[in-house]
Amino acid sequence: MAGNTGHALQEQTVEWIKAQFDEPVEITNVQPLTGATSSTLFELVVTKSSSERSYVLRLFHKTDWLKKEPDLAQHEAASLQYAEKMGLTVPHLVAYDVTGEESGVPAVLMSKMPGSVVLQPSNDDIWLDELASNLAKLHQTSAGDFPYEYFPYNDAFLLEKPTWSKVQNDWMRAFYIVSGSRPAFRECLIHRDFHPANVLWENRQVSAIVDWVNACRGPAGIDVGHCRVNLAQMYGISVANDFLAAYERHAGSDFKYDPYWDLVSLTDILDGSPTVYPGWKAFGMKGLSNELVRHRLDDYLLSLLDRFDDY
């Protein structure tokens, strides 16, 4: 047990954490962090030489994800190191254990960044503009020889007709489009999971982008599309479109919009009947229901098909 908060870490994990520092330390507080759905996150207060600092520990516990991608800890570690080297505001990597042999389970230890998630901003325009400008800045980063490459999460050719939808045939058309030829794109560093719950804010400005386990070389349109499909579910199509317009202003001639990537991002989130993402609820988002999310996804799909037809 670390500290007296009642939140237990394995003794093996505690000893691994302590071993990452060049002087004796004590873990004086452990608190689970809100919003993590595919891994477990803890904030740790580490005391050394009478000073305290906060760190974040990510533990990869989902066996099905680890079977598909056994190097998750190494992937996030490489992403953090590369992004920091490129001048992006991200957590600083302290240590990682790819197999969990030393830490108990695969783990990443990193610095805790200032700020908090904001899902219900006081000024939507400023919030969207900040989101867009920070993503555009990220995409100015060359992917160089970064070893991880983009791949879609779903094979659209194998997706079945969504019985939950009121526009099932339109979904089948989207699957057909996505399973076709992929347009050419300019490769850059992409976050691969950029959405409002992975962005921290302080004084109405973005203070950090977190959760880098999926970063890779790929098309900017995938990050834009993933954020847009999240915004469409949370707030509706108009907010998703406002984000795209803001991103295009900040990216300028470096970005050429293609609705194909929006359609890929939409089909990538499908895994049965859509439901409200638990992370949104954890961060205080209210007013959403599974029915509303499904309705908004249908509407968003139709808007994308209209864009595709006009493209």
**Does residue 258 register a pLDDT over 80?**
yes
In the chain, what are the domain boundaries?
Answer: 11-111, 124-310
- pLDDT, average across residues 235-264: 98
Domains 11-111 and 124-310 share a fold: no
| pLDDT for the residue 4 | 41
| pLDDT for the residue 201 | 98
**Does residue 230 register a pLDDT over 50?**
yes
**Does residue 209 register a pLDDT over 50?**
yes
Report pLDDT digits (tens) over 269-283: 999 999 999 999 999
Contact call for residues 277 and 161 (beta carbons, < 8 A): no
The CATH homologous superfamily for domain 124-310 is Aminoglycoside phosphotransferase (APH), C-terminal lobe (3.90.1200.10)
Beta bridge partners of 57: 42, 109
**Does residue 255 register a pLDDT over 50?**
yes
Q: What is the mean pLDDT of the chain?
A: 95
Residue 268 vs residue 35, higher pLDDT? 268
| pLDDT for the residue 305 | 99
Termini Cα distance of the chain: 58
**Confidence label for 49 from pLDDT (cuts 50, 70 and 90):** confident
- pLDDT, average across residues 137-151: 96
For 92, 119, 120, 195, 297, the CA distances from 234, given in Å and listed in that order, are: 30, 9, 10, 11, 10
| pLDDT for the residue 7 | 60
According to CATH, what is the number of the domain 11-111?
3.30.200.20
